[in-house]
Amino acid sequence: MTKDEIAILMYIKNLLSDLVYMNGVIATELTKITENLAALRHGEDFLERSPCIEEHNRLNSSILDVVKRHFKNEQFNATLEKHVLKHLEGLEK
């Protein structure tokens, strides 16, 4: 493999890694948007009675695991995790 081919492969690898991170952000935020819309439409009590919150928490946890596995930037991963956990703490109140 030539030096140029290796450089292209590394570029693609880094690009895919960045896309994994961005998709993780989008996925966790869409989950929160869905919860907010359900609360607006049906009321907060609906969400409290629904199994969705627990399911969303598990989904967000899985999304964070995927991001950590494929995006090797601890600072960005910590920021995303802190943000997602902040959403989860707000649900517990």
- pLDDT tens, residue by residue, 36-53: 999 999 998 988 898 988
The rounded distance, in Å, linking the Cα atoms of 77 and 23 is 13
% pLDDT > 70, the chain: 92
pLDDT at 47: 83
pLDDT at 90: 57
Contacts of 44 (CB under 8 A, 6+ apart): none
72 or 11: which leads in pLDDT: 11
Q: Domain boundaries in the chain?
A: 3-92
- The answer to whether the CB of 77 falls within 8 A of the CB of 68 is yes
Task: Give the predicted TM-score (pTM) of the model.
Answer: 0.77
9 or 93: which leads in pLDDT: 9
The rounded distance, in Å, linking the Cα atoms of 33 and 26 is 10
